[in-house]
Amino acid sequence: MTPADLRLDEAAVRLGVVVEAPQHSGLLGVLDYLSATPLPPGTLVRVPLGRRVVTGVVWAVLPPSGEVPVRATEDLKAVIEVLDGLPALPSAWRQLVAFAAAYYQRGLGEMALMVLPPELRQLDAVQLQRRLKRLDKALATAPVAAPVATVAATAAGDSTGAPLPELSAQQALALSALAAGGARPFLLWGSTGSGKTEVYLRRAQEALDAGQQVLMMVPEINLTPQLEARVAERFAGRRIVSLHSGLTPAQRLRNWVMALQGHADLVLGTRLSVFTPLPRLGLIVVDEEHDPSYKQQDGARYSARDLAVYRAHLEKVPVMLGSATPSLESWHNALPVAEGGSGRYLRLDMPERIGGGDMPRVRLLDQNHVLKATMGQEPPPLSRPLLDAIAQRVERGEQSLVLLNRRGYAPVLHCSDCGWKSGCPHCSAWRVFHKADRTLRCHHCGFSERVPRACPDCGNQDIQPVGRGTERLEEQLAAALPGARVGRIDADVTKLKGALEAQLASVHAGEVDVLVGTQMVAKGHDFRRITLVAAVNPDAALFASDFRAAERQFALLLQAAGRAGRDADVAGHSEMWVQTWHATHPLYQALQRYDFASFATRQLQERQMAGLPPYASLAMLRAEGKTQEAAQGFLEAAASAVQDLVAQTPEAAGLMLYPAVPTPVQRVANVERAQLMIECGQRAVLQRFLSEAQAVWLAQAQQHRRSGLIRWAVDVDPLAI
Q: Write out the binding residues.
A: 415, 418, 424, 427, 442, 445, 455, 458
User: Looking at the chain, how many residues does it have?
Assistant: 721
Q: What φ, ψ does residue 277 adopt, rounded to 5°?
A: -70, 125
Within 13 A of 677's CA, how many CA atoms are on the CB side? 16
C-alpha–C-alpha distance, residues 567 and 530, integer Å: 9
User: Which ranges of 29-141 does DSSP label H, i.e. alpha helix?
Assistant: 91-103, 108-114, 125-141
Q: How many CB atoms lie within 10 A of CB 140?
A: 8
Taking each continuous run of H as one helix and of E as one strand, the counts in the chain are 20, 28
| Distances, alpha carbon 207 to alpha carbons 230, 282, 581, in Å | 17, 6, 50
What SS3 state is found at 258?
Answer: helix
- Looking at residue 631, its amino acid is A
Task: Please name which of 531, 488, 576 lies closest in space to residue 399, comparing C-alpha atoms.
Answer: 531
Interacting residues of 460 by C-beta distance below 8 A, sequence separation 6+: 415, 416, 417, 418, 454
What would you report as the CA-atom Rg of the chain, rounded to the nearest whole angstrom?
Answer: 28
C-alpha–C-alpha distance, residues 671 and 711, integer Å: 10
What SS3 state is found at 661?
Answer: strand
Within 13 A of 414's CA, how many CA atoms are on the CB side? 9
User: Which ranges of 456-534 does DSSP label H, i.e. alpha helix?
Assistant: 470-480, 499-508
Omega before 63 cis (within 30°)? yes
C-alpha–C-alpha distance, residues 310 and 315, integer Å: 9
C-alpha–C-alpha distance, residues 404 and 654, integer Å: 41
Q: How many CB atoms lie within 10 A of CB 11?
A: 10
| Distances, alpha carbon 113 to alpha carbons 45, 55, 695, in Å | 12, 8, 22
Burial of 316 (0-12, 13-18, 19+ CB in 10 A): exposed
Interacting residues of 221 by C-beta distance below 8 A, sequence separation 6+: 228, 242, 244, 246, 268, 269, 270
C-alpha–C-alpha distance, residues 17 and 30, integer Å: 5
Q: Residue 295: beta bridge partners?
A: 303
| Distances, alpha carbon 280 to alpha carbons 22, 45, 77, 95, 316, in Å | 33, 24, 36, 16, 12
Within 13 A of 184's CA, how many CA atoms are on the CB side? 17
**For 212, which DSSP code?**
-
User: Which ranges of 384-526 does DSSP label H, i.e. alpha helix?
Assistant: 384-395, 470-480, 499-508
Binding residues for Zn(2+): 415, 418, 424, 427, 442, 445, 455, 458
Interacting residues of 523 by C-beta distance below 8 A, sequence separation 6+: 219, 223, 224, 288, 291, 559
Task: Please name which of 334, 261, 275 lies closest in space to residue 310, comparing C-alpha atoms.
Answer: 275
User: Which ranges of 335-423 does DSSP label H, i.e. alpha helix?
Assistant: 384-395
